[in-house]
Amino acid sequence: MLGSSYALAGTLPARSTRIYGIRSVVGVRLVPFETELEELDGDSLRLYVRGELDLATASALEEALLDCAREEPERLVVDLADVPFMDATGLRVLIEGQRRQKETGGDLVIGRPSRQVARLLEVAGERARFRIARDEPHSGQRVRGRSFSRERR
């Protein structure tokens, strides 16, 4: 099955709330987050991740990594080139994904991390111990994609 699905970013109407007599207007912006899986040559997979990776979206990445783990690839490349922001929650999900890969004899590689993500991985240092591939070749077949939109205030 080829193809992927995409989430659309948009703005929800602002709503008014009252907290202890203080009136505030809160606008909510939907930020797209998506993953897309690609089968590579041999027994390898590449998981493209796009969007901000934080508490609100980490569960979508965790689900995608669990789907990949079920296929027991020898090598899983998690491409983070289109992840402009990642917090400790996203890092935890990647560390867990790496642990699962090692349990099945596989390898998890971080592909093309964005500047901010590379800095976070550098700060995590020995705790994370990720292999990083700066330039992964693009050759394979797109298999499926999943999108997830989150609310951002």
Residues 88-105: tens digit of each pLDDT: 999 999 999 999 999 999
Mean pLDDT of the chain: 78
Q: Residue 111 region, left (φ>0) first, then alpha (ψ -120 to 50), else beta?
A: beta
What are the structural domains, with CATH classification, of the chain? 10-152 (3.30.750.24)
Other beta carbons within 10 Å of 131: 12
The stretch 127-144 carries a mean pLDDT of 66
More confident residue, 73 or 17: 73
Position 68 scores a pLDDT of: 94
- Global pTM reads 0.72
More confident residue, 9 or 37: 37
Report pLDDT digits (tens) over 58-77: 999 999 999 999 999 999 99
Position 17 scores a pLDDT of: 45
- What single-letter amino acid sits at 104? T
- What single-letter amino acid sits at 122? E
CA torsion, points 128, 116, 72, 62, in degrees to nearest 10?
90
- What the block records as the tokens of 77 is 């490349």
